[in-house]
Amino acid sequence: MGPIGRGESRSDAVTRLLALLDQAAERRADLIVYPELALSTFFPRWYTDELGGHDHYYERSMPGPETQVLFDTAKEYGIGVHLGYAELTDDGHRYNSAILVDGAGNEVGIYRKVHIPGHENNEPWRPFQHLERRYFEESNEGFPVWRAFGGLVGMAICNDRRWPETYREMGLQGVELIMIGYNTPLHYAPDPAQNPLQSFHNHLCMQAGAYQNGAWVIGVAKGGTEEGVESLAQSAIIAPSGQIVAQAVTTGDELIVADCDLDWCGQYKNTLFDFARYRRPEMYGRIT
DSSP assignment string, 222-268? --EEETTEEE----EEE-TTS-EEEE--SSSS--------TTHHHHI
CA distance 144 to 111: 8
Residue 181: phi and psi, rounded to 5, are: -95, 150
Task: Assess whether 226 carries a catalytic annotation.
Answer: no
Catalytic residue, candidates 113, 169, 176, 260? 113
CA distance 179 to 35: 9
Residue 133: phi and psi, rounded to 5, are: -70, -15
Q: Alpha carbon 179 to chain centroid distance?
A: 6
CA distance 81 to 70: 9
User: Residue 25 belongs to what H/E stretch?
Assistant: helix 10-26
Catalytic residue, candidates 59, 87, 158, 265? 158
Task: Assess whether 158 carries a catalytic annotation.
Answer: yes
Contact 139, 116 (CB under 8 A): no
Task: Please return the burial class of 277, using the count of CB atoms within 10 Å of its CB with bins 0-12, 13-18 and 19+.
Answer: exposed
The set of residues, in sequence order, having a beta carbon less than 8 Å from that of 187 and lying 6+ positions away, is: 127, 128, 195, 229, 230
Task: Assess whether 113 carries a catalytic annotation.
Answer: yes
Q: Which amino acid is at 120?
A: E
Catalytic residue set: 36, 113, 158
